[in-house]
């Protein structure tokens, strides 16, 4: 079945923003009596901010964080993140997005982020690629990654867009959608959603952190994936079952 849609994670895939997130998390939580190393931040990557804070609260306080605490801590983390040098687009990301777009495939952003700053920048850095109707963010989801929910919502949004223009053609489903992820919990969510999940290891974790949760393929940079894209897509399109 020909591939019809590609769902993109944002941090660590489209932007080289994870070092800033890891630093902001590890610094911000200390003022609330919590602790998380930058390394641990990579292991939680993909969760909603509130989900991450609650795990720390359970560990350090022995209870869930209140909504007010979650909001206060997340605001402190966001403020620190915004003082970091502006994250740059990941090399190769624009090339890959353009290749996918030129083939007429539907592109959807699926992120656990609630960073307004980065969401606004997408339109500037990747013009004409993303639109508000084809984005799933922390504001849309109830569970977030590693639950498959965000990616299943991404498929729904891709399909809503696709069906408007292709009324009589078979819909976008898990079997014709690819997910691109860089985080262990994101790969877990992608695999659980039933889509072909490509891991791009752009961070400090070993490849096994992405292969063990079930990534179908692994690349070591977005540039490597962009350079292999055409060949990869041909292969997937001519394979009867992925
Ligand atoms: Ca990510």
Distance CA 179, CA 14 (A): 13
Q: What is the pLDDT of residues 36-58, one digit of tens each?
A: 999 999 999 988 899 999 999 99
Q: What is the pLDDT of residues 16-36, one digit of tens each?
A: 999 999 999 999 999 999 999
Distance CA 102, CA 54 (A): 42
Angstrom distances, CA of residue 9 to CA of 65, 141, 167, 238: 27, 14, 28, 25
Q: How far is the CA of 151 from the centre of ligand 1 (A)?
A: 13
Closest alpha carbon to 61 in 40, 39, 26, 32? 32
Distance CA 242, CA 236 (A): 7
What's the pTM? 0.93
Calculate what percentage of the chain has a pLDDT beyond 90.
82
The pLDDT of residue 123 is above 70 = yes
CB atoms within 10 A of CB 112: 28
Kindly list the strands in the beta sheet with 177-181, ordered across the sheet, starting from the edge strand earlier in the chain.
Answer: 135-136, 106-110, 5-8, 177-181, 196-200, 217-219
Q: How far is the CA of 168 from the centre of ligand 1 (A)?
A: 35
**204 phi, psi to nearest 5 deg:** -85, -5
Q: What is the pLDDT of residues 52-102, one digit of tens each?
A: 999 999 999 999 999 999 999 999 999 999 999 999 999 999 999 999 999
Please tell me the predicted confidence (pLDDT) of residue 239: 79
Q: How far is the CA of 70 from the centre of ligand 1 (A)?
A: 21
Q: How far is the CA of 164 from the centre of ligand 1 (A)?
A: 29
Q: How far is the CA of 25 from the centre of ligand 1 (A)?
A: 15
- Residues 186/145, Cβ–Cβ less than 8 Å: yes
- Residues 226/92, Cβ–Cβ less than 8 Å: yes
Strands 106-110 and 177-181 come out as unpaired
- Residues 23/203, Cβ–Cβ less than 8 Å: no
Q: How far is the CA of 160 from the centre of ligand 1 (A)?
A: 24
Please tell me the predicted confidence (pLDDT) of residue 130: 92
């Amino acid at each position: 079945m020909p591939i019809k849609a590609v769902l993109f994670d944002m941090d660590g895939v489209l932007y080289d923003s994870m070092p800033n997130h890891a630093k902001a998390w590890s610094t911000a939580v200390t003022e609330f009596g919590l602790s998380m190393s930058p390394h641990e931040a990579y292991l939680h990557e993909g969760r909603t901010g509130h989900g991450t804070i609650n795990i720390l609260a359970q560990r350090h306080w022995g209870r869930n964080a209140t909504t007010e605490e979650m909001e206060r801590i997340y605001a402190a983390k966001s403020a620190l993140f915004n003082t970091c040098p502006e994250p740059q687009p990941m090399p190769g990301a624009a090339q890959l997005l353009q290749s996918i777009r030129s083939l007429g495939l539907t592109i959807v952003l699926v992120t656990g982020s609630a960073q307004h700053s980065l969401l606004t920048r997408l339109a500037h850095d990747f013009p004409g690629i993303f639109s508000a109707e084809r984005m799933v963010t922390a504001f849309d989801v109830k569970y977030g990654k590693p639950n498959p929910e965000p990616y299943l919502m991404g498929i729904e949004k891709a399909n809503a867009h696709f069906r408007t223009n292709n009324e009589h053609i078979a819909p976008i489903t898990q079997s014709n959608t690819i997910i691109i992820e860089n985080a262990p919990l994101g790969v877990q969510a992608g695999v659980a959603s039933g889509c072909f999940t490509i891991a791009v290891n752009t961070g400090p974790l070993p490849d096994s952190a992405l292969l063990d949760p079930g990534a179908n393929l692994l690349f070591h940079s977005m540039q490597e994936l962009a350079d292999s894209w055409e060949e990869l897509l041909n292969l997937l399109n001519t394979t009867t079952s992925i």
